[in-house]
Amino acid sequence: MKKLLLFLIVLNLFQQVACAQDKTGQALIDSLQTKLLTAKEDTNKVIFLYELAFARSWSNPDTALVIDKQAMMLAEKLNWKKGIARIVSDLGDIELQKGNIAKALEHNRNALKLFEQLISSSDKALMFYAKTQKGHVLCNTGNSYLSQGKINIAVDYYLKAVKIAEEVGDEEYEAGLMCNIGICYENSDKKKELEYYLKGINILDKIPLNKQIQTKQFKAIITGNIGNVYESQKNYIKALEYYKKALQVGEQLGDISLQSAGLRNIGNIYLLEKNYTLALQYANESLKMRENLKDNAHIPEVLNMIGQIQTASGNFEQAEKNYTKSLIISSEGGMLNEIANSEEQLSRLYDTTGRSALALVHYKKFIVARDSMNTQETNKKLLQNEMNEAFEKKEAETKAKQEKKDLIAASEMRRQKLLRNGFVGGFAILLLFSVIVFKQRNKIKIEKKQSDKLLLNILP
């Protein structure tokens, strides 16, 4: 089962953006573009621009970067530090979405410095905002390191963000961070993974109704992830329990996508338990919802699952149709993972039904798709490594330059101190010498007077 990984990237942006509350998607984009037509060159225009960048970031991150840079130019012109810090943070989010981890980390580092400066403000509202945003940047820094597989560093940043979430009283955010920490242990420590998911659920359960914003959505996601853990441990009873809880929350929210995911997960448990009737029932319901949403990104996955159920129950003709349909949709969308899955399932189906030639053809296609997927992933990692090396080199150069500046500054301070001390010491010596001279002159004058007086007494 696929976990809903790194959902806190969405959470960060949701909490940061002061968008029109009842508008989303294209309606939001249209509304912001209309506002920008008559907007004055002030902070409101900066807000409209970075909100528009956010609205476009998921579908077109390159356009979002251009818009954010426009916002940055105006914010700098206005010397609006709060806006500048926010935009730098958003640039980090967008670069992370694009997979440019080194750039994302650089923006995050700069954003942290800017928010640290704002935290020292005497304006309590600004201080609270800056502290909250610092937590978001720490979280996204953790997301960046997690995407690189640097688990310990990611956890460290998430825990720093947890501390801030506790300080500002953001329970939803704290719960979400627990989920991300759990994800960090997905492949190394199932006990810890489950521990943090349960911590997240416990936090969400204690949030009062009047403070709930996305509590139920997060609960559905974390509950589903708990089900994933139990499924991986082959504890199907517990997995089914949590998948049903996640489905129930999705139904309460009226969230079709969450419901479809829940139905698919439940169907998969029944497939693993060889209860093909119930497995097919849940899978078909999930497919119907995905088709109503025209969600081609997830339809192939469900079609392949239905094909597996039909293959296991001996309905080879229908299974072949669903595998083929999945292959067509995933090929159109360039989804290598599902292409490989469809080709592999078709190969197995043809092998089971004695069509060896077709089994071999599709097995070879499966190998090609799998290798392409691996090559794509390898190239991505190589690119990330190159970018990371460049980033680390730049950081080392920056650090060396700063150390050189610090040494020069320290040397200058020592020189100034020596000069100051020399001046003070010289002045003290001069003063002491002057006192001695003055006293000596007085002494001479007194002795001269005494001598003159004595001479007068001697003379007739």
CA 119 to chain centre: 21
Measured CA to CA, the distance from residue 317 to residue 323 in angstroms comes to: 10
Range of the domain at 105: 1-169
- pLDDT in tens for each of the 460 residues of the chain? 444 444 444 344 344 433 434 455 678 888 889 999 999 999 999 999 999 998 888 778 899 999 999 999 999 999 999 999 999 999 999 998 888 888 999 999 999 999 999 998 889 999 999 999 999 999 999 999 988 889 999 999 999 999 999 999 999 999 999 999 999 999 899 999 999 999 999 999 888 877 777 788 888 889 999 999 999 999 999 999 999 999 999 998 898 988 999 999 999 999 999 999 999 999 999 999 999 999 998 999 999 999 999 999 999 999 999 999 999 999 998 888 899 999 999 999 999 999 999 999 999 999 999 998 877 666 555 555 555 555 556 656 666 666 666 677 666 666 666 556 555 555 555 555 565 555 565 665 555 555 555 444 544 4
pLDDT at 372: 86
pLDDT at 10: 39
Domain annotation covers residue 142:
yes
How many domains is the chain built from? 1
Domain annotation covers residue 93:
yes
Domain annotation covers residue 186:
no
Angle among Cα 289, 254, 250 to the nearest 5 degrees reads 80
As a whole number of Å, the CA-based R_g of the chain is 35
pLDDT at 6: 42
- Collect all residues with Cβ–Cβ distance below 8 Å to 247 and sequence separation of at least 6: 258, 259, 262, 263, 266
Domain annotation covers residue 339:
no
Domain annotation covers residue 199:
no
Domain annotation covers residue 69:
yes
Domain annotation covers residue 274:
no
pLDDT at 194: 94
pLDDT at 98: 85
CATH of the domain at 109: 1.25.40.10
pLDDT at 454: 47
Which segments of 323-377 are extended strands (E)? none
CB-neighbour burial class of residue 430 (10 A; exposed 0-12, middle 13-18, buried 19+): exposed
Token readout for 381 is 């990692």
Domain annotation covers residue 202:
no
